[in-house]
Structure 1
């Protein structure tokens, strides 16, 4: 799983280098597919429940599951890229939101807060804590900074399948204790935050989820292993 996620991180690094005004979002799909061939890995999302691309590419008000297309990025846009691969039977999964050129202070703050909420959630991923400790840390940080947390989509366990139990919500759905966290668990933690409402709707393509008020959204995700030495972020290119 370390290698699967390292590869995902390398792909996202390369995609980030290609983000600039004037680029078609389909260019990112081409890069992702080319790099999967280079690494001899299978794109995890391509064909998953019928999803037609290797990459989820969501722009501005699109929260998640957006399609790469001939859409041209413009100065001030936000583009969220979610990538997964299968390596030797194991899955890697990670997402980042990139700023396109100079963005508004509000857009920049949204990205910073969403990214930091992920890190605060990861810090709670230790044995002896509970699943909703992760959820609470994310929700509190996002809301303290004036943004809202998407509830319709959640993180997940990951391993030999892309989506495994448990679901990892970015909010606390019920009061009280939740699933105890144990070393050896691997979780894909992925907060999605919005400037306005966290309510989303699915667009005509049956996949893309957009904010109902069409205000900006950001999405960051890491695959994290719980170890005796604390949480280990697998989806980083540090090897």
Structure 2
């Protein structure tokens, strides 16, 4: 994780807006601020919003059919079919060698799980389905947790619930002219109440014109740290919450080098939304 040092540009003779004044205030105090290209135009926001509708539809399609006995490859097939029906493209497919259209991460797999014909879902499994849509060149990204068969252990049920609460608490902390660290600090505090680990090696990110943009959105940290978030920025919050340690490793049996596993191989849960920062808080563009 890490962001470049940016400078907020002002043209000679340009009348300063309230947003300019806020950004310049923090820039002059050596805080990390966005560059203008990280603030989306109204046209770009509408494009991302349309991609978000399709992306949400993909996850709705999975939610309607996920069940014990189905393979994770079947989930990939559903996502591919939905994309084709809506003239969209799955961003994951072929991205840095990723072989499938969606990440399906089961139990101790934290993220980037690769769908497989022989990986069968069982009642009580907890599953993260993470999909990113490209529509007309715009990106939207979201993931959901599913409890296969509707029942699991009390421990896993709590983990899934708390992971969702971490996302919601992070969204509440995401106010205009807050800092990325404010989000991470709020998430970390809530997860630690349950003695859960907050994964540090992966993070949320800017999104919209590319799959991954600045800023990095860490899910731990100190208030007032990280980049200033201003209206017009689009990013994900996607805390990965482990039942045990926050540490992770790459599965040595994965020939593609993608699947991330909790170090102690205890279950993990994650929820993700694509969010637009507005003058009053965040608006959900995909969930």
TM interval, short-chain normalised: over 0.9
Partner of 1:187: 235
Confirm whether residue 115 of structure 1 aligns to residue 164 of structure 2: yes
Write the distance in 1 (CA, Å) between the matches of 2:281 and 2:73.
Answer: 38
Structure 1: gaps spanning 5 or more residues = none
Q: Where do 1:118-197 residues align within 5 Å?
A: 118-172=167-221, 177-197=225-245
Confirm whether residue 38 of structure 1 aligns to residue 85 of structure 2: yes
- TM-score, normalised relative to structure 1: 0.95
When structure 1 is superposed on structure 2, of 29-38 and 67-76 the one drifting more is 67-76
CA-CA distance at 1:230 after TM superposition: 1.9
Kindly provide the CA deviation profile for residues 64-121 of structure 1, in whole angstroms up to 9, marking residues without a partner as x. Answer: 0001012111111111100011011110100111001210011011010001110110
Contact 1:188–1:223 (CA under 8 A) maintained in structure 2: yes
Contact 1:126–1:183 (CA under 8 A) maintained in structure 2: no
Confirm whether residue 7 of structure 1 aligns to residue 54 of structure 2: yes
Q: CA RMSD of the aligned region, Å?
A: 1.2
Q: Where do 1:40-55 residues align within 5 Å?
A: 40-55=87-102
Write the distance in 1 (CA, Å) between the matches of 2:275 and 2:245.
Answer: 28
CA-CA distance at 1:175 after TM superposition: 7.1
Contact 2:182–2:224 (CA under 8 A) maintained in structure 1: no
Write the distance in 2 (CA, Å) between the matches of 1:196 and 1:220.
Answer: 18
Write the distance in 2 (CA, Å) between the matches of 1:55 and 1:88.
Answer: 19
Write the distance in 1 (CA, Å) between the matches of 2:187 and 2:280.
Answer: 22
Write the distance in 2 (CA, Å) between the matches of 1:124 and 1:175.
Answer: 10
Corresponding pairs, count: 235
Moved over 3 A (4+): 174-177
Write the distance in 1 (CA, Å) between the matches of 2:73 and 2:98.
Answer: 15
Higher-Rg member (1/2): 2
Partner of 2:64: 17
Write the distance in 2 (CA, Å) between the matches of 1:141 and 1:214.
Answer: 22
Contact 2:133–2:140 (CA under 8 A) maintained in structure 1: yes
- TM-score, normalised relative to structure 2: 0.80
CA-CA distance at 1:176 after TM superposition: 5.1
Write the distance in 1 (CA, Å) between the matches of 2:282 and 2:247.
Answer: 31
CA-CA distance at 1:142 after TM superposition: 1.0
Confirm whether residue 67 of structure 1 aligns to residue 114 of structure 2: yes
Contact 1:78–1:107 (CA under 8 A) maintained in structure 2: yes
When structure 1 is superposed on structure 2, of 50-59 and 15-24 the one drifting more is 15-24
